[in-house]
Amino acid sequence: MEYKNGILHVRNLYKKFEGVEVLKNINFDLNEKEVLVILGPSGAGKSTLIRCINRLEEPSSGEIIFNGEKIDKKTDYNKLREKIGMVFQKFNLFLHLTALQNITLPLKIVKRKSEEEANKIAIEYLTKVGLKDRANHYPIQLSGGEQQRVAIARALSLSPQIMLFDEPTSSIDIELIKDVLDVMKNLAKEGMTMIVVSHEMGFAKEVGDRIIFMDKGEIVEENEPEEFFKNPKTDRAKQFLSKIINI
């Protein structure tokens, strides 16, 4: 098969919202253990693109091949989503559950773990993101940075093959962003396959293996991070980078 090397392949992907094309002919591949960073101005279609991957959005046409298998109507989306973790801009922790329960509930329902096993796994991942002591706090009692780290732990606890990050630091107070980025950096170091939609240029440069730059629903440029920031190939990327201060 032509797709045996990469873990994820996107081919000719289009997405229309009420007649408006928000994704146009998207093509890219993702290899195992790779960190792909998607950059671009707001409204470029970055979030829509990664939401198509775990089928929170249904693409209008095109193909996504995951683990060598095409995702289509016959795919069990619930099983697919167990294997593709997602972290949201607004954290989306379950507000009526504690940090610990946010992790144990999916483990119990989706992975059919016992209470005891689920607790053990949850503590393990909370420790990993440095929040073991917040296990019994409700989301409202946690800072944005802490909520996001719990959300990352929740996604990781299901042992996904790919992690999708949808602007994970955009809703977080500036002084707390570093803690979240550190967790993500460690994850990358451990070899997690990641797609990160972000405005964190520092992270893209330091951790990213590859950059995809999007504008107006299209992939405008695909490049190595070093090259992308030093010598962007396209004018649109140059323009975008010139507007960003903290590189």
Q: Between 56 and 241, name the residue whose CB sits nearer to another protein.
A: 56
# chain residues binding another protein, by CB under 8 A: 30
Provide the mask over 52-81, with x wherever binding to another protein is found by CB under 8 A and - wherever it is not.
Answer: --x-x--------------------xxx-x
- Residue 233 has phi, psi (to 5 degrees) of -80, -30
**DSSP state at residue 94:** -
Q: Quick one: which of 21, 29, 82, 218 contacts another protein (CB under 8 A)?
A: 82
- Only one residue has tokens 């980025």, namely 181
Cβ at position 106, least distance to another protein in Å = 4
Are residues 15 and 187 in contact, defined by beta-carbon separation less than 8 angstroms? no
Instruction: Note the residue count of the chain.
Output: 247
Considering only the stretches 91-99, 210-218, 224-232, 235-243, report the one whose residues sit in contact with another protein under the rule CB under 8 A.
Answer: 91-99
By CB under 8 A, residue 96 contacts another protein = yes
Cβ at position 81, least distance to another protein in Å = 5
Considering only the stretches 29-37, 97-105, 175-183, 204-212, report the one whose residues sit in contact with another protein under the rule CB under 8 A.
Answer: 97-105
Write the CB contacts of 143 (distance below 8 Å, at least 6 apart in sequence).
173, 176
Structural tokens at position 205: 């440069």
Are residues 158 and 88 in contact, defined by beta-carbon separation less than 8 angstroms? no
Are residues 82 and 158 in contact, defined by beta-carbon separation less than 8 angstroms? yes
* List of residues contacting another protein (CB under 8 A): 54, 56, 77-79, 81-82, 85-86, 88, 90, 92-98, 105-106, 109-110, 138-141, 151, 154-155, 158
